[in-house]
Amino acid sequence: MDNNEQYEKLMFDCCSEILKPHIDEITNGTEVDLPEKEFIDILYHNFYDIMETYEALELSGVLLSVKGPRSNKISEDKYCRYVINTYLQDMYILKERLNSYATKIKRMHNSLGRTQIVELLIEPVFDVIKSSFKGIVDTRGSHVHQRRYTDTTLDDASLFSSTAKSDPKFSPVSKASIELLKEEWGERIIGNNAKVKELLNYYFACLYGVIQENQQVIVP
């Protein structure tokens, strides 16, 4: 069991204990007023958002490795461009969510007077996040919502794809440019995702050391 799985199990066990006394109301569709609702939102839902974003990064790698939709409305180069831009945007979102979640855990446990363990385990996390994403998110730029990413390989694929529509002689060149694009970005995504997985393993090991004692989540 890696640190992500260990953390996830802790989340499930904690939520199960909180929700168990209300299982009948939940089963019957009755609205339950949980005193711990805000705590669950912070601890579990933010964790879920992080893991969901990581899964989206992996999905982008899969989508890029397969042939695009069989539709004349979507060319292969535009399909690849969309997947790559979505991937980079998800990478940026993951970075923001990791920082946000660690900050919320930090504030929660500082308010409980646990500043020493927060200083030891959570404070270093922010620098590690920053260094880990440098060169990944920075490729996309801070204006992630204002402009779409492009590079030479993407531009070449678009150029030859458009040219091949008017002159079929360029079809082999267009096909080769798409294959090169998929190969380059496929390798890049695999490498990036491996680094992100290592980061998550470190990240959740640090948070695990703060949020629990004797494998029991500390509830404010």
Per-residue pLDDT band for 142 (boundaries 50, 70, 90) equals very low
Euclidean distance between CA atoms 76 and 95, whole angstroms: 29
Cβ proximity of 98 and 131 under 8 Å: no
Give phi and psi for 24, each to the nearest 5: -65, -45
- The neighbouring-strand residues paired with 213 are 216
Instruction: Write out pLDDT tens, residues 9-30.
Output: 998 888 888 777 767 676 777 7
For 165-178, letters b (16+ CB in 10 Å) and e give eeeeebeeebeebb
Instruction: Look at residue 151 and tell me if it is in a domain.
Output: no
Is the CA virtual torsion 69, 70, 73, 75 positive or negative? positive
Instruction: Look at residue 49 and tell me if it is in a domain.
Output: yes
Q: Note the pLDDT of residue 159.
A: 58
Whether residue 67 is predicted with pLDDT greater than 90 in this model: the reply is no
Instruction: Look at residue 29 and tell me if it is in a domain.
Output: no
Instruction: Look at residue 11 and tell me if it is in a domain.
Output: yes
Euclidean distance between CA atoms 109 and 208, whole angstroms: 12
Give the global pTM.
Answer: 0.85
Cβ proximity of 64 and 56 under 8 Å: no
User: What does the block give as tokens for 89?
Assistant: 């945007």
User: What does the block give as tokens for 125?
Assistant: 């996390």
Instruction: Look at residue 198 and tell me if it is in a domain.
Output: yes
Question: Who has greater pLDDT, 28 or 86?
Answer: 86
Mean pLDDT of 167-180: 72
Cβ proximity of 34 and 18 under 8 Å: yes
Whether residue 80 is predicted with pLDDT greater than 70 in this model: the reply is yes
Instruction: Look at residue 183 and tell me if it is in a domain.
Output: no
- First-last CA distance in the chain: 27
Euclidean distance between CA atoms 183 and 191, whole angstroms: 12
In which element (H, E) is residue 217 found?
Answer: strand 216-217
Q: Note the pLDDT of residue 78.
A: 86
Instruction: Look at residue 91 and tell me if it is in a domain.
Output: yes
Average pLDDT, the chain: 84
Q: Note the pLDDT of residue 129.
A: 96
Q: Note the pLDDT of residue 26.
A: 65
* Total number of domains constituting the chain: 1
Instruction: Look at residue 102 and tell me if it is in a domain.
Output: yes
Cβ proximity of 139 and 108 under 8 Å: no
Which residues span the domain enclosing 203?
3-19+36-143+189-217
